[in-house]
Structure 1
Amino acid sequence: MKAGQEFGFFQLINHGIPNDLMNDVLKVAGEFFRLPAEDKASFYSEDPKKACRLYTSIDYDKEKVHYWRDNLRQSCHPLDRYIEDWPANPTRYRKVMGKYALKVREVSLLILDLICEGLGLELGYFEAGGLSNVQLMGLNYYPICPDPSLTLGLPKHSDVNVITLLNQGLVLGLQVLKDEEWLSVEPIPNAFLVNIGHTLQIISNGKLRSVDHRVVTNKHIARATIANFVHPSGDSQIAPATALIDKCNLPLYRQFTYNEFVRTYVTDTHQGTPPLKRYEQSKP
């Protein structure tokens, strides 16, 4: 809890997912991204609602700077609804990624129950009201960059969702903003880097923090990572948990739907406006 309060991130070891699987998904991700362009062409899309989508930039038409990353974003819960939309090449892609998606969901729900315990909420709180219904997997590939001083893998941003579990392999790249200083997060073999999203900050009434982070590029080695994002359903009501509110702990945020939050998050992020500001309660 302390790391979630102070840094918004923590490293998770001994999570129960076999080391071989943690390594294999990164290997398969690299194999996919190194396929010839024509083998990946059918997955390229500018439609953010597509269940399995390959793209090279967050919003290429609106970005002032283009970032050094390819990304495959795929829905994965429930698995049987989406797995047929995933790549079939490499041939073991669906088998390895499917097994991994199921394991990561188990770990995600366990983490959320432990967070419930730490906050004083009933177990299963995040499964009620659709707060953990959506699971997305993001495969990132950062090619070797000739001059890392000219670009980033990802710009400064924070996550809109509940929690993110990142399998970042062994190559340094992620940085977290703490006290106006960028701190590099040293990879731990076979660990997850877990970060708090804005939605969890709101539900915890500010007891847990969502913080800015970015990805730097590498001149000598390519880097693959896999992020799993736990989101609420679009119609879920987001607000500070009532169990955390009393006369000494007034709600810091107003209630809204997750769909509304995602829409304003995208707009505010593009404009450089803090995404939570419009949802803050006025101080008496």
Structure 2
Amino acid sequence: MSMPLEGSHFELWSNVQALPESYVFPPERRPGTDEILASKDIPIIDLEGIDGPRRFEIVQHIMKPSQNCGLFQVINHGVSRDLTDQTMRNFQEFFTLPAELKARFYSNDLNSSCRLYTSTLNYEKEDTHYWRDNLTHRCHPLEDHIDHWPENPPDYRNVVGKYSIEARKFLLTMLELIGEGMGLETGYFEGELSKTQLVSVNHHIPCPDPSLTLGMPEHCDPNLISMLQQGDVCGLQVLKDGRWIGIAPLRDTFVVIPSLQLRVISNGKLASAVHRVVTNSKVSRTTIGIFLTPSNDIEIRPADGLHGSLTPMYRGYTYKELFSRFTGNDCDAEKALGCFKL
């Protein structure tokens, strides 16, 4: 049973009783039936007092998980609860809209300003599908993209626009703090290195058998830095010390993932978390991701002036080159980066 591009899980399978064969993974890739409990070891960074005497301490707290598991959580991030709640409601309502209101956004074109698709962009070619629908669109500069966004729900553009601006401010702050921790000059990550901003919203309806499939594959994000607003349903897992660890959704908390480009710029000192998403048999799950990405043609290489810098591990390349290698190797980060190792 296959999923046509013009359909989605919600419209076609809201009452499905058995997992379609095309969504059943090989035994070695299934999450299994064992409950994966949420870990208490995922660091939570409190940004309160970031412009005061706590700044050095906060930077050190950020650098430790950035160098180890490549993922941490942040509270007191500066984005209001009212705005995060409104944004989540708009995305949840979008996925429940009638198919005819969403039809114009269905696309597998990576260059589309706003696209809605099922599983991955390689749906027609992939051996096994992932249990998700995804809405992705560009959001910086706002005035260049907002007219391509959904007009329903009615306050979608207004609310998501405000959220995009605040999320960008937050991620640029995180980059500045990480830069300080690496010994880079102020403003290193501004401009072309963080030029592109995407919002990527995953929606997973209840799954008949979560033990047999995945909501997203295990992967490293290829961009510069990512943040995730989880909602209130578990599903995100990170690979830590050879085990899959669940990350419980916490109120007023963002998950931050320093991504592949930060690994290269740090000359391998920062980690990039391997993570995946499992499904839920009882409730739908919607999550909001914001990604900052370099412009396609700027050169990316290990930064000069790193604390204790050694011989560069990577040659220079453009993000366009890296992303081509990444998608060409089935989103395998190590194979993609291996093409640029010295």
Do the two structures share a fold, i.e. TM-score over 0.5?
yes
2:338 equivalent among 257, 264, 277: 277
1:273 CA displacement: 5.9
SS state at 1:276 partner: helix
Tell me which of 131, 141, 144 is aligned to 2:206. 144
112, 124, 135: which one pairs with 1:72? 135
State which drifts further: 119-128 or 268-277. Answer: 268-277
Match 1:115 to one of 158, 172, 178: 178
What CA deviation, in whole Å up to 9, does each residue of 1:119-157 have, x standing for no partner?
1001110114x0000000001111111111121100111
Q: Deviations over 1:206-244 (max 9, x none)?
A: 111112110000011101110000000001100000112
CA drift at 1:36: 1.1
Residues 67, 151 of structure 1: 8 Å contact kept: yes
CA contact (8 A) 2:219 2:333 kept: no
1:272 to partner: Cα distance: 8.3
Within the candidate set 151, 157, 182, 1:88 is matched to 151
Distance 1:62 1:157 in 2: 18
Paired residues, number: 279
Give the counterpart letter for 2:335 in structure 1.
Answer: P
Partner amino acid, structure 1, of 2:239 = L
The structure 2 residue matched to 1:203, chosen from 231, 248, 265, is 265
- The one-letter code matched in structure 2 to 1:69 is R
Contact 1:245 / 1:251 at 8 angstroms: preserved in 2? Answer: no
User: Deviating runs (4+, > 2 A) in structure 1?
Assistant: 269-275
In structure 2, the CA distance between the partners of 1:125 and 1:273, relative to structure 1 (3 Å rule), is: closer
Kindly tell me: are residues 202 and 136 of structure 1, through their superposed partners in 2, closer, same or farther at Cα, counting changes over 3 Å? Answer: same
Task: Give the Cα separation in 1 of the matches to 2:66 and 2:334.
Answer: 23
Select which of 241, 252, 270 maps to 1:179.
Answer: 241
Query: Alignment partner of 2:102: what SS?
Result: helix
Aligned mates of 1:251, 1:276 — CA distance in 2: 13
Partner amino acid, structure 2, of 1:274: K
Report the CA distance between 1:115 and its aligned residue. 0.7
What is the CA–CA distance in structure 2 between the aligned matches of 1:270 and 1:206, rounded to whole Å? 19
Partner-residue secondary structure (3-state), 1:71: strand
Match of 2:67 in 1: 5
Structure-2-length-normalised TM-score: 0.79
Deviations 1:48-91 (A, max 9, x none): 11010000121102211111111010000000110010000110
Q: Distance in 1 between matches of 2:255 and 2:73?
A: 5
| SS at 1:274 equivalent | helix
Output the amino acid matched with 1:109: L
Contact 1:176/1:184 (8 A) holds in 2: yes
CA spacing shift, 1:245–1:253, aligned 2, 3 Å: farther
Quickly say closer, same or farther: Cα 1:13–1:273, change in 2 above 3 A.
closer
How do 1:105-254 residues align onto structure 2 when only pairs under 5 Å count? 105-128=168-191, 130-244=192-306, 249-254=310-315
SS of the aligned residue for 2:233 comes to coil
Match of 1:257 among 306, 318, 326: 318
The alignment's C-alpha RMSD in Å is: 1.4
- Check the 8 A contact 2:113/2:145 in 1, yes or no: yes
Matched, 1:266 2:313: no
TM-score (norm 1): 0.95
AA in 1 matched with 2:324: R
Show CA shifts across 1:145-184 (max 9, x none). Answer: 1111121100111111010010111211000011221111
**Identical-pair percentage:** 49
1:275 positional shift = 2.2
CA distance in 2, matches of 1:273, 1:206: 12
Structure 2: 5+ residue runs without aligned partners? 1-62
Q: Is the 8 A contact 1:157 1:269 kept in 2?
A: no
Q: C-alpha separation between the residues in 2 aligned to 1:46 and 1:6? A: 35
Q: Which runs of 5+ in 1 are unaligned?
A: none
User: CA 1:126–1:270 in structure 2 vs 1: closer, same or farther (change >3 Å)?
Assistant: closer
In the TM superposition, residue 274 of structure 1 has moved relative to its aligned partner by 2.7
